[in-house]
Amino acid sequence: MPTIRHPKDFFAGLLFAAVGAGAIVISTRYTLGTASHMGPGYFPRMLGLLLGVLGVVLSLRALRLRGEPFAAWKWRPTIVVLGSVVLFGAIVTPLGLVLSTIILIVLSSAASAEFRPREAVVASVLLAAVVVGVFVYGLHLQLPIWPGTK
């Protein structure tokens, strides 16, 4: 049983190989066409094949080459940062820019190890005023300021 000596390359390779294989499988549903009249399936199948081969080579090489191990994935920043942004996208129209800004700033500040709640609240209020000024009054973007104004 060969050992994985270069985990970063190995898993990157697996990922590429999987996406490549997936692309080939999905594009069999599209017309292939001929070399002179390429159908919608021609180019993706070409790319899928290339990506798959690259992925396999990368993974196989990772059994031989030596590389650093994975850095641990600290989940808190990922979840908090992306979660608060998605939440913002969902609430900005019903709740308006001011409230959603305050929620986004306070929530996302919690991703930092140096989180200070009071500072975050103050910053959020200031930023809410800034973005309303810049985006709504300055750039005339179609964003509601308060709940129910749209």
Partner 1 sequence: MELLNHLALGFSVALTPVNLLYALTGALLGTLIGVLPGIGPVATIAMLLPTTFTLEPVSALIMLAGIYYGAQYGGSTTSILLNMPGETSSAVTCLDGYQMARQGNAGAALSVAALGSFFAGCVATIMIATVAVPLSEFALNFGPAEYCSLMVLGLVGSVVLAHGSLLKAFAMVILGLLLGIVGTDVGTGTARFVFGIPELADGIGVVSVAMGLFGFAEIISNLESTEKREILTSKLGGMWPTRAQFRQSWPAVLRGTGLGSVLGLFPGGGAMLASFASYALEKKVADDPTRFGKGAIEGVAGPESANNAGAQSSFIPLLTLGIPENAVMALMVGAMTIHSIQPGPQVMTTNPALFWGLIASMWVGNLMLVVLNLPLIGMWIKLLHVPYRVLYPAILLFCAIGVYTTSNATFDVMQTAFFGLIGVLFVKLACEPAPLLLGFVLGPMLEENLRRAMLLARGNALVFVKRPLSLAMLSLAVILLLLIILPHFRKTREQAFRETDS
Give yes or no for residue 64 binding partner 1 (CB under 8 A).
no
Which amino acid is it at 71? A
Q: Of these, 16, 95, 96, 98, which contacts partner 1 (CB under 8 A)?
A: 16
Give yes or no for residue 149 binding partner 1 (CB under 8 A).
no
CB of 66 to partner 1, least distance (A): 13
Sites for partner 1 among residues 34-63 (CB under 8 A)? 34-40, 42-44, 47-48, 50-51, 54-55, 57-58, 61
Task: Tally Cβ neighbours within 10 Å of residue 61.
Answer: 14
Sites for partner 1 among residues 104-123 (CB under 8 A)? 104-105, 108-109, 111-116, 119-120, 123
Q: Of these, 25, 86, 117, 137, which contacts partner 1 (CB under 8 A)?
A: 86
- Long-range contacts for 111-114 (Cβ within 8 Å, ≥24 apart)? 111/76, 111/77, 111/80, 111/81, 111/84, 112/77
Residue reference for tokens 């910053």: 123
CB of 76 to partner 1, least distance (A): 8
Phi, psi of 37 (to 5 degrees): -120, 80
Helices 7-27 & 42-61, crossing angle to 10 degrees?
160
CB of 3 to partner 1, least distance (A): 18
